[in-house]
Structure 1
Amino acid sequence: MKAVTVSKTGAETHLVLADHTEPDAAPDEAIVAVRAFSLNNGEVRGALHEGTDGNRPGWDLSGVVQTAPEESGFRPGDRVVGLVWSGGWAERVAVPTSRLAKIPGDVSFEVASTLPVAGLTAAVALQKKAIGPGSRVLVTAATGGVGIYAIQLAAAAGAHVTAFARDGSNAEFLRSLGANDIAVGVEAGEKGGPYDLILEGVGGSLLGDALMWLASRGVCVLFGDASEDTLTTFDARRFRLQSGGAYGGTVLYGFFLLEELTRPDGAADGSAILADLARRLSDGSLRPVIGKTAPWATIDATARELLKREFAGKAVLTVGG
């Protein structure tokens, strides 16, 4: 079968389709014939900048079950969406049933494939602080896959949502997702606070600023570092004591999806959350934003376009005819 593979020739790294052996399913895994997959900034960056020759990247996928454990609730022919930690960009993939969910018939494979990393990250990160009417939520990296779903889910919970943007060109788009305010730049971001919950996907200096915008008992969830800025500095006193009578309880939470979904306490049920997100897509309460759809043979070019931010939202590649 074919699978997307890292190919290194000298200093050059490319993503190509190459032949690989068929997957073997563990007792808790289903074999899925992949119909579509979506790209995430982190995995693309890792594959092109850090991947070794022969590596098989890929996290998000959707497709049709070929085989599944008898007691899993899945049957051959089921349309599903799933998450793996590597090798998902292939014709067939073994997927743990704990990270697999059925998708309604009116949700396309292309749309479903946008859910696993972006949707799960947004949904689980929003659980780190109870929010509802009256809560103030800030979402950075707002036009990325996680940000797009986080804005919608926070708005659906009744929170007042501020989307942090590099410029005002996407303001109308972000408002259409449910953002109440658009903060363009650090000054505007601070003015919109203090925030009960911040979902921060940029890192670097913006993270340092955001830590000082938290309300008392506020939580900042760091889910990404899109800026690739490795230096974060902040005013520790303002993070701890804030100003104007808001004192303490503030938290910086380092978010990593694999850790969240493999905790012994099973607090984050990947399959159940994916199923809920798929239902929201079906009933229209959640909408995907797909910036590009293309055949998977274009993987190398599409991955580079994603890193250059040549489109907003997700890149989706289709497998087969």
Structure 2
Amino acid sequence: MNTIRAVVVDPQVEGRLKIDAVEAPRPALSQALVRVAAVSLNLGEVRAAGRAEAGWRPGWDLSGVVAQAAADGSGPQAGTRVFGMVPSGSWAEVAAVPTALLAEIPDRVTFAQAATLPVAGLTALYGMEKGGFLLGRKVLVTGASGGVGHFACQLARQAGAYVTALVCREERAASLRETGIENVVAGEDAAAAQSSGPFDFIVDTLGGEALAAVTKYLEPDGRCVNLGAATQPDMTLQARLASIPEGVLVLEGMERQTGIAKNLGRLAAMVAEGRLHPPIDRESSWTEIAEVAQSLLNRGIAGKAVLMIS
């Protein structure tokens, strides 16, 4: 297998994304070759594809079957159903995945469900851990209809918190209520959540003015963690960090986290047990990548979009 098919950036085609032949991956000693079954899209990688040079290969999340186990003996064996992530290039037929970023898929979890978990699920998990003991506490999640926000709401509820989910439009509330989140408020600004506060912990995925506004609704000893800047997509990382109000925690990059494979397993186990519900809003063939990516950019997708590789 000298070549495989993968999604690449091509500025000359509509949507800048197409499926093309690329060189097959050559795994390092600690990487497994995974035949990809499904991938999920994240806003960050889709935005990056909009400004990347021709030939760049986007994609972080994936699920599939191990075609070749890692040469160093680490990680799952050939034939195992797995999910995980790579720095880029997961939107492909085959990917070389570090075994430290790979976990097995439980029997009751589908490839599509598993593909939603790595970036969005882990971001939500690590963000919620910043809140400490949440039993009986009041928690606000902004941008709650997005992938990270949706998972954060569910994890906060699992921890015994009283959760308020802030969404931009009322039609985005239904999927959250279906998972047991009762207090969903809709509004283009943070003021919609004011009557439910003050809050012991705020999980913000919006950044910018929304973040500055919600910090006013914290308890005096409350905490706020910022997980992104969905409302300011063109802001540089340095500008984003400079705009964070004093006292707000900022989640470190995924590359600084440890125990990723173990934590992926934790998330998958919750899905298998019916305690965590991946918010899949759209499931399509990867041949529709340009259309689905544009829909995500246009805020036409609530939760996660999954593409099946065939």
Distance in 2 separating the partners of 1:201 and 1:54? 30
Distance in 1 separating the partners of 2:105 and 2:159? 23
Aligned Cα RMSD in Å?
2.3
Cα pair 2:145 2:173 within 8 Å, conserved: no
Unpaired runs of 5+ residues, structure 1, are 241-250
Distance in 1 separating the partners of 2:306 and 2:230? 19
Cα pair 1:160 1:180 within 8 Å, conserved: no
Are 1:153 and 2:155 an aligned pair? yes
In structure 2, relative to structure 1, the CA distance for the partners of 1:193 and 1:86 (3 Å cut) is same
Structure 2 equivalent of residue 100 of structure 1: 102
Structure 2 equivalent of residue 289 of structure 1: 279
Give the superposition deviation at 1:280. 1.1
Give the superposition deviation at 1:190. 2.3
Cα pair 1:121 1:257 within 8 Å, conserved: no
Distance in 1 separating the partners of 2:169 and 2:59? 31
Aligned partner (choices 207, 210, 214) of residue 210 of structure 1? 214
> What is the DSSP-based 3-state SS (H/G/I as helix, E as strand, rest coil) of the residue aligned with 1:310?
coil
Superposition TM-score, scaled by structure 2 size: 0.90
Structure 2 equivalent of residue 43 of structure 1: 45
Distance in 1 separating the partners of 2:182 and 2:163? 5
Distance in 1 separating the partners of 2:304 and 2:281? 5
Runs of 4 or more consecutive aligned structure 1 residues displaced over 4 Å after TM superposition: 229-232
Cα pair 1:151 1:177 within 8 Å, conserved: no
Aligned partner (choices 247, 252, 259) of residue 248 of structure 2? 252
Aligned length: 299
Distance in 1 separating the partners of 2:15 and 2:192? 40
AA matched with 2:296: L
Cα pair 1:183 1:192 within 8 Å, conserved: no
In structure 2, relative to structure 1, the CA distance for the partners of 1:73 and 1:166 (3 Å cut) is closer
> What is the DSSP-based 3-state SS (H/G/I as helix, E as strand, rest coil) of the residue aligned with 2:33?
strand
Aligned partner (choices 265, 271, 287) of residue 261 of structure 2? 271
> What is the DSSP-based 3-state SS (H/G/I as helix, E as strand, rest coil) of the residue aligned with 1:8?
coil
Counting only pairs closer than 5 Å after superposition, residues 78-227 of structure 1 correspond to structure 2 as: 78-185=80-187, 186-227=190-231
Structure 1 equivalent of residue 53 of structure 2: 52
> What is the DSSP-based 3-state SS (H/G/I as helix, E as strand, rest coil) of the residue aligned with 2:284?
strand
> What is the DSSP-based 3-state SS (H/G/I as helix, E as strand, rest coil) of the residue aligned with 1:150?
helix
Task: Between 94-103 and 212-221, report the one with greater CA deviation.
Answer: 212-221
How many percent identity over aligned positions?
41
Distance in 2 separating the partners of 1:258 and 1:277? 16
Give the superposition deviation at 1:13. 5.4
Structure 2 equivalent of residue 34 of structure 1: 36
Give the superposition deviation at 1:195. 1.7
Give the superposition deviation at 1:36. 0.5
Distance in 1 separating the partners of 2:208 and 2:10? 31
Task: Between 183-192 and 115-124, report the one with greater CA deviation.
Answer: 183-192
AA matched with 1:78: T
> What is the DSSP-based 3-state SS (H/G/I as helix, E as strand, rest coil) of the residue aligned with 1:20?
strand
Structure 1 equivalent of residue 11 of structure 2: 8
Distance in 2 separating the partners of 1:167 and 1:13? 26
Structure 1 equivalent of residue 309 of structure 2: 319
Superposition TM-score, scaled by structure 1 size: 0.87
Distance in 2 separating the partners of 1:212 and 1:45? 30
In structure 2, relative to structure 1, the CA distance for the partners of 1:182 and 1:137 (3 Å cut) is same
Give the superposition deviation at 1:282. 0.9
Cα pair 2:83 2:105 within 8 Å, conserved: yes
Structure 1 equivalent of residue 64 of structure 2: 63
In structure 2, relative to structure 1, the CA distance for the partners of 1:310 and 1:188 (3 Å cut) is closer
Give the superposition deviation at 1:256. 4.3
Unpaired runs of 5+ residues, structure 2, are none
